[in-house]
Structure 1
Amino acid sequence: MSFASGSALPPPDFEVASAYPEVTWLRQTAAARDWAAIRRYLDGLPREVARSFAVRVLDEVAGIEVWMREILAADPDDVLALTVLGAREVQIGWEIRTSASAKDVSREQFAGLHAHLRQAEQLLIRATALDPSSDAAWAERLTTAMGLQLGQNEARRRYDRLAAHHPHHFNGQSRLLQQLCPKWSGSWEAAHGFARQCLLDAPEGALSGAMVAEVHLEHWLSLSGQERDAYLRQGHVHAELAEAAARSVLSPYFRRDHGWVIAQSCFAAMFSLTGDLARAAACFRALGNLASTYPWDYLGDATEAYVKHRDAALARG
């Protein structure tokens, strides 16, 4: 899709199924409780394709936890059912906690989160014991490690187990990056170092380069007032973002794998914030009107932030 100067641009489309049409089928098949069809679909994916994307679609299906418990009652060793139920428990727990800052979360909300995360942990431990190569189960265990505050070493251990089978797992990298930030008892040195390593280790065109955009966004958000402006003016920030984009979302080898909308959006946001409107415009053009709530909800109302930065980039970049 191309945008002419001065044209009326369509609103951002945050529907996941618009970018990944298989999502509609997964939702419908889950609603119909056709477990055999879901299993055939996942078993038929190439080994290098992450199953965590499909699991995240399934864990948002209301009531799926009841169905998964029925499946596990009949077959306690069903790794996929263990993983989906574990992911659903994580989802329910985080819905109780909400995305508010820790200071604004009540003791009761934290208790609800931890109760569901502990249930998820037991399910996911069993899943990874039965199938150590399950990317979806290890990715969810990164979230439980963070929510249960199991520490940096344990989170790294889990990521290493995931990376042993899936070395450039975008979803897993993004989850560990959160853990490595100071807000989860990490450090900026560790977070930036990990993002840089993800970029360098991945083949050109991989989504992993977006870790560089994510960590700069997180670092910028941790600041306030003039510190934010000063951060965005730093030459090394501009250079690192340009290099990472060239090796990932702006590379001719870039593929629209699961997660590409988030990756492209993170760069679009950071290039917009740093004033690199030419690169921001390239990212927005690649997106068309597709959008992901993250990272735009970090900048206020997601729709308003997307439209503001898109229109500015396409008008001048």
Structure 2
Amino acid sequence: MACEPLLHNLSYMDVLDAWSTLRGAIHRTPVFTSSSLDSRTEQSAYLKCEHLQHTGSFKFRGAYHLLSQLSPRERSKGVLTFSSGNLAQAIALAAHLNNTHATICVPRDTSRVKLEATRKYGAEILFYDRHKEDRTFFAQQAAAERGSYLFANDHPAIIAGAGTAVLELLEDVPDLDSIVVPVSSGGLAAGACLAIQGHKPSVRIYGVEPEGAGDTLLSLERKERTRIPPPKTIADGLRSDIPGVHSFPVNLQYLKGILLVSDEDILAAIRYAARHLNILLEPSGAATLAALLQGKVPGKRIGVLLSGGNIQTQFIETLWNSDRTPISPHRTSEKRI
């Protein structure tokens, strides 16, 4: 079993190296604007549409970057990690493209649509109970049994790959005041911080967590990684119980703050995105939009990373049964080049 690397001194150069690796392998996702959204928030919002990335989330960036760096020996043994769903799909596809096999440890309550996609890409799935079992220990045991290359979702290469999404946003919209990203274990936020510090340090970076899943908020307040009880939130991709080893030092240094949103705020944001923007988001992917709609993001020109769109059909039906307002047939957003 290969182990996690020692703490890596991440920098802007890691993000640039990742972007060089990823050229041609990922979508350069568009940035949308919406006059109706701007009127409602009295801000200018620039929506980075990572729900249009391969496998439906930004996770493919880091997954492909990491697996492309594996040695032939490591690829022959296969890879193993743990995920709530989006990283599982991303690793499964990246493993297929890099000629290796993926095993993913997922919570038993992982969304069905994410499980089906992960299996479709050829990965093996192992289930654990997130309320009773420690996912890291579970994954370590599984990797030891298989001799697989084990890594966590805040591996330095994954952080650097995630940061390329924000690097693109900064290139497309260079005069932003703030950027807001969702926070789980903190890898995306850390990558965003690195991209901003190297490209335009004056831009403020804020993270968004669901109420009841504020492990990063608590950890930042205490200035040390702090574990919380298993979070209960509809945003399954943001149910981290402790910040990542590699991501937390970066976020402690550069994040301007954590913005909390309720599940009700997230549901309202999903409805708004579908009705007024013709964008379908999963709960985790809508958290940043929720913070914007609730007036919690400082600044006038805001970059908003929409992280994923892998939403279950059953969830959509339940959501719309509780709100009968018709969806607008007209898109009010436009693509920025």
Q: TM-score, normalising length from structure 2? A: 0.29
Q: TM-score, normalising length from structure 1? A: 0.30
Does 1 or 2 have the higher relative contact order (CA < 8 Å, sep 6+)? 2
Structure with more of its chain in helix, by fraction: 1
Larger radius of gyration: 1
